[in-house]
Amino acid sequence: MNKPTIFAANLDDVRPGKTKKVCFPNHAPILLANVDGTIYAVDDTCTHEDSSLALGCLRGSKVKCTLHGSWFSVTTGEPTDEPADEALQRYHVEINNNEIWIDLEPIK
Ligand code: FES
Atom of ligand 1 nearest to the CA of 65: 2
Cα angle value 79/48/68 (rounded, 5°):
85
Please give the Cα distance from 72 to 70 (Å, whole number): 7
Q: Write out pLDDT tens, residues 57-106.
A: 999 999 999 999 999 999 999 999 999 999 999 999 999 999 999 999 99
Higher pLDDT, 5 or 17: 17
Q: Whose CA is nearest to atom 3 of ligand 1?
A: 68
Question: What are the structural domains, with CATH classification, of the chain?
Answer: 6-106 (2.102.10.10)
List, chain by chain if needed, residues with CB within 6 Å of any ligand 1 atom: 46, 48-49, 51, 65, 67-68, 70, 83-84
Q: What sections of 1-108 are H helices per DSSP?
A: none
Q: How confident is the model at residue 108 (pLDDT cuts 50, 70, 90)?
A: confident
Take atom 1 of ligand 1 and give the residue whose Cα is closest.
49
| Assessment of whether the complete model's pTM goes beyond 0.75 | yes
CA neighbor of 88 nearest in space, from 32, 25, 9: 32
